[in-house]
Structure 1
C-alpha cells in the first residue's frame, strides 16, 4: 500500500504556528478498495527536523475533520485539549490522525455510523503506520465520543500492532445507547452536517490548489444519512435497508467482545456523570479488562478535578513504552463523588453501585401531579391521570443531558432530608401504568431539589411500553433490568390495562445535602426526541399512573441510611 505524500518536514499549505518540536506531514493513503483516506502524521522533532529515533504511535480516527480552517484560523485535532496529542508528540510519541471515509478531506462515501468498513479502514491505517521506519511497531488508539467509538471499532478488527486503547464517552451496546428502551432520544439523530464544512478541510500536502479535496468532498454526497439509518431499524434484530445488514449487531461493540478482550491489549475508559454515554462506559468496564475513570461534567468535558491528559500519558507510557509507573497496581476504577459544591475521587476495585443494596421509595398518588409523594412507607392505593404534553422541543444541537421536565411531568417528592444521603450506582424504577393507546413512551428522572425549589436532574431513563418484556442480557449487565429489543418480544399495550414498566436510570455518585428533597418526575415525551412531530399521533395521550405498595416505586442505591426530617415523613 503506497501512500501519496511528500517528505517529512516539508511545508504544509496552512498558516499553522511553527512548533519546532513537531514535524508534520499529510497525505492520502489508499485503502484495499482504492478509496483514499486523508492521514496526518506528527513526529517528534528538533528545530523542525524530525528525529531519526523510533517511537510508538498514537492514532485518532475522526468524522469531524482532523484539520480545517474556521474563520481564517487553522483548527487541528492534534490540538484539542481533550486528547493532549501535541503534548504526546513532545513526550516522544508519533501521533497520527485521519478523517474517516466520506468525511473531512478523505475520499469515498460513509456506508454507516461506525460500521465495519470504518473498522477495516482504521486497521489498515494502523498496520501501515506500524511498519514505518519512524515507528516501534506498537500503536495506541485514542478518542472521545465518535472518536472513542472508532477506537473501539478499530480494536475490534484486531490489527496486531494495537497494544493500548483509551476510549471515552462511547457505547458498549449501540442499540441500548441510540434506542434506549426502544426510543430514539439523543444527539445521534441530529441533522447531517453540510458539505461546506468538509470543503473547509485543509488539503493534504501536495494538493496545493485543493483539486483533490474538491473531488473527495464531492463523493461525500453519497453518505448514508444517520437519522434515517437509526429510525429505520426500530428493533435490535431489524435489517437495515440502507446497509443490508442487521446493523445493530454489526456495530456492537458487545458483539465483538472476544476480539476486544483479546490478550495483549490494555484498556482504559473514561466518562463524565452528566453525559448519557457514561452508563455505557460502566458497562464496557464490566465486560472488558479495562481501567475506568468517571469525572464530573458533560460530554468529553475535561474535569478540573482530574487531569485526564496525565492519565492518558501514564497509560500509554506503561503499555506502549514499557515504563514501570505503577498504573497497573492502582485500583481498577475511580470516580468523582459530588458532595455539595465539592467532592472527592473514590478509588475502588468494584464498579460504582456493585454490591450496594437499594432502598425503596414508593410513589404516592394524591390526585394532583404536583402533590405526589415519595416515601419509604408504602401509601394506600391511588392513581393519577397524567396527560402527556407533546408540543415540546429543544434548541440544543447536542442535548447531552436533560433539563428538568417538571412543568410537563407528574411529580413525586420526598420530605426534606435530615442528614446527607449518598447515592452510588443505578436507580431502578418500576412504574405501574395504563395507556389509552397500544403505544406509549415513559421517561423517568430522579432530581435533587434544593430548599429554594431549584431542581437538577441526577439520573434519567426511558422505556417504550411495547418494549417492557424483560430478558437475559447477552453480556455482563450489572444485574440491571434488560429489555431485548427483539421484534418478537415487542408487545403492544392494551388500552386501559395496567402494566409494570421496569427500567434503570443512569448511574450517579452524589451526596444529597440535608434539607434537600428527592423527586421523581415521570413524563411521556422528552425534547430530545427530534421526531416527536412525526410520531406523536401514534402515541398514548394519557398515562394512568398507579401508586401503593404493589404499584410504583424507585429503588435507589444509597450507601448511607436515608433519613428524613422528623415529623414530616
Structure 2
C-alpha cells in the first residue's frame, strides 16, 4: 500500500502571496475541527479565472473541463498548485432564459482557489459538452477516463502533481470509482452519499428504488450545456449532443436486472457487479488513497458510507449529519474538504487524521442534538441489542393504528397472528426522493410500546425478524421504526425492506457491520410456501436518535411503499400474516446505547 502524503509543513513556513511578497502562515488564530478551518493556510488570492477546453482520453473521446485557477489582475497565476476535481454530469448549463449556472461556483469549491488550488470540473463522457456515449452507470470506461483526467491534470504546467477528487451522489460514486484504477497522482478522495455496492443501495432488499434512472435529458435540454471556450459557434457541442442520443436508458437497464447477478444485453455486462465500487475494493486498498466519506441520517445511502469505511483498509474518515441527500446545513462542507485536501495534498499538519475517524450527529424529536466522535461504527460496543416482540394485535385489520403492542416479553399465546391485505394506495403529500417516506400507519399493521419512562438513545443498526406467511409466492415487505409523541405525532426514524422471494441470507463479501445480507442472485429466489410461516430477517438503515421519555416506539409493517419504482400490484391483493406465537415470534432488535 502506498501513501503519498507530503511531509507536514511547519506553520511558520514562508509562503508567497498573490503580489509575490512573502507572508507567514499562522498569523491568525488557528482552528481545525470538523466543519471549521482557519489559520493553517493563508489567503493568497482574491481572484480566480475560469477557462474551459477539451482534454483527450486514451480512446480519443474528448471531455469538457472547466478550470478555476487563482488569478491576479484577471490573469491566471502560472505557479503550480494542487488540483482537486469533480467528475460531473453537467459542469455548467444555461437556464431557459439563457442565463448561465456555473456549478463549480455554486458548490463553493471555487473558493479553494483563494488558498492556492486549481479546481476542475469535468463532464463525464456522454454528458454535458463531452463527446462519447454513457454506457451503463459508472462503467469501467468512465473509470478509465478518471485515470486519464487525473494524470492529465497532474501533468499540466499549473499543477504541482498532487491531485484530489471530490463529489456527492452520482459524482461521489464517480470519485470512488476514480480510486479503483490506480492513477499514480490521485492522493485523496472526498466522496459523499455514494453507493458502495449499487445493488445494496439501489435495489435494497431486492426492491428497486424510485431514483437512479437519470439523467434523461432531451436534445433541447442537452444543447443548453455550456460549450467550451474554443467552441464559439456551438458546433462541437451539437456534435457531442448527437453522440449522447445513444446513451443507455438507465430505467430500462435496471428493469432488466432484477437480480444481483443479472446480465443485461444492452450493456453487455452484469451492471450491479461492474458498476459497483465494492467490486474493486482490493484495487482501492492497493492504491492506499485516503478516503473521506460523508452522508446524512435522512438519506437512503447512509449505510453505504459506513460499510465502505468498515471494509476498506485505506486511511478513512466518516461524517454523518442530520441531513437529506447531499445536504450539509449548518456544517461547512467546503471547509472540511479544504482541511482534508490541505493535509493530504499540501502536507499541512492540521490534525485532521489524528481525530477519531467517525464524526456523527445524534438528534432528538425535540429538535436538539449533539455531535459526537467515535473510533468505529457502531460507536458503542456496549450498546444493548434489545429485542422487542410484536404482540397483541387486536383486530388484525388495516385502517386504524395501535393494532398491536411492542414489548420486551416474549408472546405466550397460541396460534396468534395478525392478517393484513396489502394496501397499494400508499402516498405522501410531497415527493420523497432519496429521503424517508411519510408515515403509513393506516396502511399496515402497527405495534407500539407503552410510553417510555426514560430517554432512549438508538445508535446503530435495528434488525427485523418476522415469521410471516403469505397467500402469494412473492411480494415486498416494508418495516418502519417510528417515534410517536404524546400528541400522536409520528416521526419515522428508519426503515427496512425485503422482497420475500429473496429472503434467504448469505455471508457478505465485504463488512456489512453484522447485519443480515441478502445476496439476491437469480438462483437465490425461492417462492413463499403457501400457508406456511417463513422466517424473514432484514436490517433497517442505521440511525442515531434519542427518543424522549413519554414518547413511544412503533413498528409498522406494510406491503407497499411510495418509493418503489417497479411495483407489481396483484388483484386481489395478497394477504400477509405476521405470526406472534411463541414458536414463531416476530420481533425487532434495537441498538439501545448506554
Task: State the TM-score, normalized to the length of structure 2.
Answer: 0.87
CA positional deviation for 1:527: 1.2
1:367 paired residue number: 395
- Report the Cα distance in structure 1 between the residues aligned to 2:518 and 2:379, rounded to whole angstroms: 20
Residue from 511, 515, 519 that aligns with 2:546: 511
Corresponding residue for residue 387 of structure 1: 421
Query: Is the Cα contact below 8 Å between 1:354 and 1:478 reproduced in 2?
Result: no
Q: 1:541 to 1:141 in 2, by over 3 A?
A: same
- Following superposition, the deviation at residue 190 of structure 1 comes to 6.0
Gaps of 5+ in 2: 1-44
Q: CA deviation at 1:160?
A: 0.8
- Residue 458 of structure 1 and its aligned partner are, at CA, apart by 0.6
* Unaligned segments of structure 1, at least 5 residues: 1-18, 561-569
Q: Give the SS at the match of 1:301.
A: coil
| 1:79 corresponds to which of 105, 117, 137 | 105
Residue in 2 aligned with 1:185?
A: 209
CA, structure 1 residues 58+285, in 2 after alignment: closer, same or farther (shift >3 Å)? same
Instruction: Please name the residue that 2:161 is paired with.
Output: 137
Matched, 1:249 2:281: no
Q: Distance in 1 between matches of 2:564 and 2:386?
A: 31
Distance 1:449 1:106 in 2: 50
Partner Cα separation in structure 2 for residue 481 and residue 256 of structure 1: 22
Partner of 1:30 in structure 2? 56
CA contact (8 A) 1:60 1:151 kept: yes
CA distance in 1 between partners of 2:74 and 2:274 (Å): 43
1:267 to partner: Cα distance:
1.0
Provide the residue aligned with 1:435 in structure 2. 470
How do 1:294-309 residues align onto structure 2 when only pairs under 5 Å count?
A: 294-304=320-330, 306-309=331-334
SS in 2 for 1:236: coil
Contact 1:69 1:201 in 2 (8 A): yes
Q: Deviations over 1:343-390 (max 9, x none)?
A: 111101011356233101100133335321111112333211101112
Matches of 2:81 and 2:379, distance apart in 1:
40
Moved more, 19-28 or 256-265: 19-28
Map 1:103-502 onto structure 2 (within 5 A). 103-189=127-213, 192-288=216-312, 289=314, 290-304=316-330, 306-339=331-364, 340-352=366-378, 355=381, 356-364=383-391, 365-368=393-396, 370=401, 371-381=403-413, 382-392=416-426, 396=431, 398-502=433-537
Give the Cα separation in 1 of the matches to 2:518 and 2:337. Answer: 35
Structure 1 residues 422 and 477, CA, compared in 2 at 3 Å: closer, same or farther? Answer: same
1:102 alignment partner, one of 104, 126, 142: 126
Deviations along 1:478-509, whole A, 9 cap, x unmatched?
Answer: 11101111222211111221111100000111
After superposition, what is the alpha-carbon deviation per residue over 1:115-140, rounded to whole angstroms, capped at 9, x for unaligned? 11111111111111100001011110
Mean Cα displacement is larger for which, 515-524 or 240-249?
Answer: 240-249
How far apart are residue 164 of structure 1 and its match? 0.2
**1:544 and 1:251 mapped to 2: Cα distance?**
38
- Equivalents in 2 of 1:293, 1:528: separation in Å? 26
Question: Helix, strand or coil: the match of 1:217?
Answer: helix
What is aligned with 2:575? 542
1:80 deviation in Å?
2.8
Distance apart, 1:303 and its partner CA: 2.7
CA distance 1:507–1:239, change in 2 (3 Å): same
**Contact persistence 2:470–2:575 (CA under 8 A):** yes
Contact 2:436 2:494 in 1 (8 A): no
Contact preservation (8 Å) 1:336, 1:346:
yes
Length, aligned pairs only: 536
Alignment partner, residue 557 of structure 1 = 591
- Residues 438 and 492, structure 1, Cα contact 8 Å, conserved in 2: yes
TM-score (ref. length: structure 1) = 0.91
After TM superposition, the structure 1 stretch with the greater mean CA deviation from structure 2, 312-321 or 402-411, is: 402-411
Aligned-residue Cα RMSD (Å) equals 1.7
